[in-house]
Chain A
Amino acid sequence: QKEVEQNSGPLSVPEGAIASLNCTYSDRGSQSFFWYRQYSGKSPELIMSIYSNGDKEDGRFTAQLNKASQYVSLLIRDSQPSDSATYLCAVPPQGGSEKLVFGKGTKLTVNP
């Protein structure tokens, strides 16, 4: 059974701080990694994807991937109250499947 692990939180940070969200995965052969944001009562929406080791930046969001450690993280700089949501890490298993394995999600609260 392929697994994706996240700290369920809740993670609470003050407005303007950096929020750091972490995810580990069990399938060493996975090649692509996704971060979805899910507001309460809404469906998940993709905010970042990363395929290579290192950092990928998009606005205030930075995804970091370390395949050797089977670890992917999401940093949110200058956190805003509107960033308060549950963040889901998703990883497709090795083997050519289009399916995704999701973590349980980390609930982030940004306090004004």
Chain B
Amino acid sequence: ETGVTQTPRHLVMGMTNKKSLKCEQHLGHNAMYWYKQSAKKPLELMFVYNFKEQTENNSVPSRFSPECPNSSHLFLHLHTLQPEDSALYLCASSLPATGETQYFGPGTRLLVL
């Protein structure tokens, strides 16, 4: 596969469930990102990892837990989510420098019931 891939593409979960989103990039990048996109809101940056180290946590609730085992893989672990967490979750990657182009994965459409 090429570019940035995300699985699953669609996810429905209850508020008591635990699930994980996976992102993998095949571009040789070292910076990876999680974004949340809700209707009628700007893309919201959640987390940034640079060479596997978290460099940004944008005041995200603890029910979202990121994990970056290496520069090619990024996970977002979900537990006890709320219905308002339903959104499109996008992963992106880039070279680790200011102003570098970010390449997005196709996203995971999450519905919390």
- Asked if A77 CB lies within 8 Å of chain B CBs, one says no
How far is A32 from B41 in the complex, measured between Cα atoms in Å?
22
CB of A96 within 8 A of CB of B98, answer yes
CA separation between A97 and B55, bound complex, in Å?
Answer: 9
Whether, in the assembled complex, B100 has its beta carbon less than 8 Å from a beta carbon of chain A, the answer is: yes
A3 to B, closest residue via Cβ: B42
A-B contact count (CB 8 A): 53
Partner of B42, one of A42, A49, A97, A105: A105
Which of A4, A98, A101 meets B31, CB within 8 Å? A98
Contact B104 A98 (CB under 8 A): no
A4 touches B42 (CB 8 A): yes
**Known contacts A98-B48, A98-B50, A104-B41; A44 and B104 CB within 8 A of each other:** yes
The main secondary structure of chain B at its interface with chain A is loop
* Docked complex: A79-103 residues within 8 A CB-CB of B: 88, 90, 92, 96-103
Q: Is A20 an interface residue (CB 8 A)?
A: no
Interface size, A (range): 20 to 34
Cβ of A12 within 8 Å of any chain B Cβ, yes or no, is no
B90/A43 in contact, CB under 8 A: yes
- B interface with A by C-beta (< 8 Å): 31, 33, 40-43, 45, 48, 50, 55-56, 90, 94, 96-107
Q: Which A residues are within 8 Å of any B CB, using their own CB?
A: 4, 8, 31-32, 34, 42-46, 49, 51, 88, 90, 92, 96-105
* Additional 17 contacts, C-beta under 8 A, given A31-B98, A105-B42: A4-B42, A31-B99, A32-B98, A32-B99, A43-B105, A43-B106, A43-B107, A46-B102, A92-B99, A97-B56, A98-B48, A98-B55, A98-B96, A99-B56, A100-B45, A101-B42, A104-B40
